[in-house]
Amino acid sequence: MDMMEFLRTRRTYRRFAQRPVEPEILRESVDAARIASCGANRQTLKYVVVQSPEAVAAVQPLVHWAAYLPQEQGTPKADETPTAFIAVLQDETLPGGSDVDTGLALGSLTAAAWAHGVGSCIMGAIDRPALGKLLALPDKMRLCYMVALGYPAHESHLVTMENGSVKYYLDPARDYCVPKRGMDEVLIKTV
């Protein structure tokens, strides 16, 4: 698959087959985040892999899914939940933490997973205090995001934006349709 096709298909996935993600893939995904570019090479992010079925089940009620959809459509059913999570943490004992660095790490992590057919959902609508307690996070480790991971049980398609709406939606097959602005709208000029 060429790079643009890879990027078009590496979408957010919210329903998963109940097949565990291999530990090597989870570790490789963290390694991809670890080696991502970061400002002044500060490397301020840390990670927690959640892979045991019990721990994954404990995390599930502490994350919130698909804000644009009614809960019954956007939240995975019991047989569609992710089979792993990765917590992305900011080590506040290290100087220079950056949202840009976090974004680059998340992009690398999810791309590495997708290279193995593992879909992901980056989640910021999470119960940080409860997750911090559940994961026994050390002091000075700020939970930034949870990344849900698993083998997708649906498809996700890019579609043309209509009437300026960025809201994703489900088609009749329950596959995600993700509106994107056209190139003519985002590329202002070439000089």
Cα–Cα nearest to 88, from 131, 39, 118: 131
| Domain assignment of residue 30, yes or no | yes
What's the CATH number where 117 sits?
3.40.109.10
| Domain assignment of residue 90, yes or no | yes
Confidence of residue 176 (pLDDT cuts 50, 70, 90): very high
- What pTM, to 2 d.p., does this model score? 0.95
Which residues are CB-contacts of 104 (< 8 A; sequence separation ≥ 6)? 36, 37, 38
| Domain assignment of residue 26, yes or no | yes
- Total of domains in the chain: 1
Note the pLDDT tens digit of each residue in 43-86: 999 999 999 999 999 999 999 998 888 888 899 999 999 999 99
Beta bridge partners of 89: 46, 143
**pLDDT at 1 > cutoff 80:** no
Note the pLDDT tens digit of each residue in 117-133: 999 999 999 999 999 99
| Domain assignment of residue 176, yes or no | no
Supply the range of the domain harboring residue 118: 3-154
| Domain assignment of residue 76, yes or no | yes
| Domain assignment of residue 98, yes or no | yes
| Domain assignment of residue 171, yes or no | no
Give the chain's largest Cα–Cα span. Answer: 55
| Domain assignment of residue 81, yes or no | yes
